[in-house]
């Protein structure tokens, strides 16, 4: 994956991360994942690049999280990835991908970790 930012323009953290990158002359490919949900395999690759597991990509505060019972620890990665694909609001944001690694930009300054 090239340099990309999985971005929600309605999210202040996501906008902040994009601004930080642009201030440093980096124009990532912006992925508006709410308009076009990433494929399950792409989400799997993101989780691998994060190195923190599939659950780290989940937004547990979204209504879909509770409605779909995603807090159930017996759910496997495939079930979680399928839920994120079907309901992209469940995907944590922003996610910055650079040089084969990824980081969740919370706080937004975390995106800078991949640049050094």
Task: Kindly list the catalytic residues.
Answer: 11
| Full strand arrangement of the beta sheet holding 101-104 | 29-31, 4-6, 95-98, 101-104
Among candidate residues 79, 94, 75, 71, the one with its CA nearest the CA of residue 11: 94
CB–CB of 97/3 below 8 Å? yes
| Cα gap 20→17, rounded to integer Å | 5
Is residue 68 left, alpha or beta, with left meaning phi > 0 and alpha meaning psi from -120 to 50?
alpha
């Amino acid at each position: 994956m090239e340099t990309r930012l999985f971005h929600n323009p309605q999210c202040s953290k996501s906008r902040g991360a994009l601004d930080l990158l642009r201030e440093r002359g980096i124009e990532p490919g912006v992925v508006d994942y709410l308009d076009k949900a990433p494929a399950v395999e792409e989400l799997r690759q993101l989780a691998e690049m994060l190195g923190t597991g599939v659950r780290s990509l989940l937004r547990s505060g979204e209504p879909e999280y509770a409605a779909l019972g995603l807090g159930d620890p017996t759910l496997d990665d495939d079930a979680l990835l399928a839920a994120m694909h079907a309901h992209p609001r469940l995907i944590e944001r922003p996610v910055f991908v650079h040089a084969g690694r990824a980081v969740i930009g919370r706080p937004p300054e975390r995106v800078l970790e991949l640049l050094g």
